[in-house]
A and B are shown apart, each in its own frame.
Chain A
Amino acid sequence: MRHRIIPILLLKNNGLYKGIHFKDHKYVGDPINAVKIFNDKEVDELVFLDINASCEQKEPNYNILRDIASECFMPLAYGGGVSSLEMIKEILRVGIEKVVLNTHAVRNPLFVQEAVKYFGSSTIVVSIDVKKSFWGNNYNVYINSGKEKTNLQAVEWAIELEKMGVGEIIVNSIDKDGTLSGYDINLIRRIVDVVKIPVIAAGGGSSLTDFVKICKHHKASASAAGAYFVFQGKHNAVLITYPTQVEIEKEFDSFVELIN
């Protein structure tokens, strides 16, 4: 099986943004234009997250999602402000097949179960935003684009989500976000070791080697990243990029799968 390498793109109003530690977001371009580039590069999958929708309690921006979906010929997921079955229905109707829950999954776990029951496991993804506690080794779950701390622990929450029938989990490290310093391997590993559903590693991915290693050595099902796909060089010049299939295959072939 080929592990997926997934750009996570952040939407705010009608633009694409990227920040660091979920803050200081910088404009990186037009989403439709980015989709067209990613199409040409035959990207494995795209995830769009609206970073304002939950905080401002807005409905998803269906118009821009429709435009994105009509140009997107690869798997596509959307998250941001999704709090009802009606919203999920509308998101699927505009041509997106996976919906990412986060804030409202924590606030209302019953909603997750209803969504899974209604739309099927494979449609419902939950993203867990995680920050390591200053003291000790706790992985705390945050919601509201990282602004609000919950009393959930990432590992327990992941187990809970699997029980609720969620199709896959994105594990996103706030500490690593935008830093291009590699994944939080310990965090990913802890979760992969206790759930059977696919886990997508996010936060810190900075190279093709990172992407392949977190899957082949640490059993993530997919590797996601943001900054890597939109910034270039030490001054973070904006450049939409994705490795070629040949480069990806070469990197995968060079890694031996480790047993535990």
Chain B
Amino acid sequence: MIVIIDYGLGNLGSIKNMLRKIGYNSEISSETKIVDQASKIILPGVGSFDTGMSKLNDLGLVPLLNKKVNDEKTPVLGICLGAQLMCQSSEEGELNGLGWFDAKVLAFKGRFDSGKELPVPNMGWLDVAVKKENVLIGNLPLNPRFYFVHSYFMASNQTEDILLSSNYSFDYTSALHKENIYGVQFHPEKSHKYGFQLLKNFAEI
């Protein structure tokens, strides 16, 4: 069973809807018993970094997620804030992230070249460039594009972890991958045919 971690905010229904449409059942839950049984985990999230981490901490999910992901190698997909929480830290907050990726989360604000400033948050569709081959991004329709909503982005210290990159005034990492761990900055559940394929790929891992 795919378990979508429910830690308060965020639009979890749409992930479940898309999985259902491609024939996969999933459960939205924050209960340790159910998360422990998961064959795959989706870590979604909308909101700020510290809110997300404190909610995971308050629910007592962090040790369990570490066990599932690091020891049992359960495939896990982080979406948007969920992906950012997989990094070590964020300029948006003070708390430590899950630290699964050797990466930091940086602010768009203040990083645009002068004369090349773009609105923040970045809300809209961006193309993705493939940085390495991986099952998660296999068989994507031509010219893949995804829907993004974010003010912060992931910056990895390990180039081999970079799966996709996008351009918002400058190139930045839009997806990371390491072993069983996947983090995408965009919302596959809101990216129609491209999202369907990506979630299908994840469900079939």
Residue positions of A touching B, CB distance < 8 A: 1-4, 39, 42, 44-45, 69-70, 72-76, 92-97, 119-123, 167-168, 196-198, 221-222
CA distance A73 to B14 in the complex (A): 8
CB distance from B27 to the nearest CB of A (A): 16
The answer to whether A95 touches B14 (Cβ under 8 A) is: yes
Find residues 177-204 in chain B having any chain A CB closer than 8 Å to their own CB: 187, 189-193, 195-196
Residue positions of B touching A, CB distance < 8 A: 9-11, 13-14, 17-18, 21, 46-48, 117-127, 145, 147, 149-151, 167-168, 187, 189-193, 195-196
The answer to whether A4 touches B125 (Cβ under 8 A) is: yes
The answer to whether B46 touches A122 (Cβ under 8 A) is: yes
Q: Which residue on A lies nearest to B15, using beta carbons? A: A95
The answer to whether A92 touches B9 (Cβ under 8 A) is: yes
The answer to whether A1 touches B126 (Cβ under 8 A) is: yes
Residues of B within 8 A of A70 (CB): 13, 17
Residues of A within 8 A of B13 (CB): 69-70, 93-95
Q: Which residue on A lies nearest to B47, using beta carbons? A: A120
Enumerate 14 A-B pairs (CB-CB under 8 Å) in ascending A order.
Answer: A1-B126, A2-B125, A2-B127, A4-B124, A4-B125, A70-B13, A73-B189, A73-B192, A92-B9, A120-B9, A120-B47, A122-B46, A122-B149, A221-B124
The answer to whether A74 touches B118 (Cβ under 8 A) is: no
Residues of A within 8 A of B127 (CB): 2
Residues of B within 8 A of A74 (CB): 147, 190-192
The answer to whether B14 touches A2 (Cβ under 8 A) is: no
Q: Which residue on A lies nearest to B117, using beta carbons? A: A196
CB distance from A22 to the nearest CB of B (A): 26
CA distance A197 to B119 in the complex (A): 5
CB distance from B20 to the nearest CB of A (A): 8
The answer to whether B193 touches A42 (Cβ under 8 A) is: yes
CB distance from B185 to the nearest CB of A (A): 13
Most buried by A among B11, B118, B126, B145: B11
CB distance from B59 to the nearest CB of A (A): 18
- Given A69-B13, A94-B13, A120-B46: A1 and B121 within 8 A (CB)? no
Residues of A within 8 A of B151 (CB): 121-122
CA distance A69 to B48 in the complex (A): 24
CA distance A139 to B176 in the complex (A): 46
Instruction: Out of A72, A73, A122, name the residue touching B123 (CB < 8 Å).
Output: A122
Residues of B within 8 A of A45 (CB): 147
Q: Which residue on A lies nearest to B125, using beta carbons? A: A2
CA distance A70 to B187 in the complex (A): 16
CA distance A97 to B10 in the complex (A): 7
Most buried by A among B14, B151, B189, B193: B14
CB distance from B184 to the nearest CB of A (A): 15
The answer to whether A123 touches B14 (Cβ under 8 A) is: no
Closest 8 CB pairs of A and B: A95-B13, A97-B11, A122-B149, A198-B119, A73-B192, A95-B14, A120-B47, A75-B190
Instruction: Out of B46, B123, B168, name the residue touching A198 (CB < 8 Å).
Output: B123
The answer to whether A96 touches B11 (Cβ under 8 A) is: yes
The answer to whether B168 touches A1 (Cβ under 8 A) is: yes
The answer to whether A167 touches B11 (Cβ under 8 A) is: no
CB distance from B130 to the nearest CB of A (A): 18
Known: A2-B145, A122-B149. 13 other contacts (CB 8 A): A1-B122, A42-B192, A75-B147, A75-B149, A95-B13, A95-B14, A96-B11, A119-B47, A122-B123, A122-B151, A167-B149, A196-B117, A197-B120
